[in-house]
Structure 1
Amino acid sequence: MIVERIFISSERGAAQVECEQITVQSQKGIQGDRNCGKKTHPGQNITLVEAEEIERFCAEQTRPADLSITRRNLITRGVRLNELVNVEFLIGNVRLRGIELCEPCSLLGSSLSSKTLTSAAVIKHWLHRGGLLADVLSNGEITRGDGIKIET
């Protein structure tokens, strides 16, 4: 269970930047990311999605696998994120808490739609597969390749 890729975006709609390492602040999120310090709703600190779900979608749509397509911050491998709602876990030395599923929105639907796949069909595909919204509970760094440990 690892972090495979890391992305941030300085503002809504801006191009994502891939990072080897990010600095996170408790209850604020990722330094340099558009949501850092915003507390409109719980779980806004950081977003995660499973690489396996992105790869499945890309294979079904016969498109090249692009792990950045969902615009989530952390792309994970080997962990079922749906099982981390209301669960504390560690990524490297950073403690997080899963808040809720990151369900697909119309923005994701429109960005992944095509001539053969409607926005509504994209949203339906990603329902319960769109990842996890989490709060950051400790300060630290998250690095590509960091392990994910579920607290029991």
Structure 2
Amino acid sequence: MWHGELVAIHIAEKGRAPMQPLEQATLIAGVGIEGDRYATGRGHYSDFPDIREITLIEEETLIALARDHETSLSTDEHRRNLTTRGVPLNHLVGRRFRVGETMLEGGRLNTPCRYLDLVTGKSVNDLLIHRSGLNARIVEGGVIRPGDRISPA
């Protein structure tokens, strides 16, 4: 059985706004992260129906970009809310898992798009195919912090 860790938390108050790091975040079931663009309906993709209460990406993806493609993408650039370590995100579609005291359910794999290239000024879209993270819903809310354990529910 796997166990991982929450590396970083980021939110943006609206689409294209810079991602802001948080030392802790309040997750609201059925809504999103308190203060985040998708919880308030101010995200770039808010008008498109989807499971997007919270988004996650693997730190291992960022390491592979740097190692294999000499392209850096920092935790405040990738536009996902949570950066994880040791978590098999691609295998969590339709599955519940815990992040600290909260429970999430994987919705769908995140599809990379040219919007990320536009916002970052880097050509990462094609490099993130099948590694762009996970969109999830918040089943049980609560407070999370970097360093929290991530595990199957």
The Cα offsets for residues 47-75 of structure 1, whole Å up to 9 and x where unpaired, read as 00000101111233435562222110000
Question: Is residue 132 of structure 2 the alignment partner of residue 130 of structure 1?
Answer: yes
Separation in 2 of the partners of 1:135 and 1:54? 23
The counterpart of 2:55, out of the listed 30, 47, 56, is 47
Alignment of 1:1-152 (within 5 A): 1-38=4-41, 40-64=48-72, 66-112=74-120, 114=122, 119=123, 122-151=124-153
Please say if residues 52 and 136 of structure 2, whose CA atoms lie closer than 8 Å, have aligned partners that are also in contact.
yes
Residue 85 of structure 1 deviates from its aligned partner by 0.3
Please say if residues 20 and 76 of structure 2, whose CA atoms lie closer than 8 Å, have aligned partners that are also in contact.
no
Please list every run of 5 or more consecutive structure 2 residues that lacks an aligned counterpart in the other structure: none
Separation in 2 of the partners of 1:65 and 1:28? 27
**Cα 1:84/1:67, change in 2 over 3 Å:** same
Separation in 2 of the partners of 1:96 and 1:16? 21
SS state at 1:3 partner: strand
Identity of aligned residues (%): 33
Separation in 2 of the partners of 1:60 and 1:12? 29
SS state at 2:6 partner: strand
More displaced stretch, 25-34 vs 37-46: 37-46
Separation in 1 of the partners of 2:24 and 2:11? 11
Separation in 1 of the partners of 2:73 and 2:52? 26
Partner amino acid for 1:138?
Answer: E
**Cα 1:65/1:108, change in 2 over 3 Å:** closer
**Cα 1:61/1:9, change in 2 over 3 Å:** same
The number of equivalent residue pairs is 145
TM-score by length of 1: 0.87
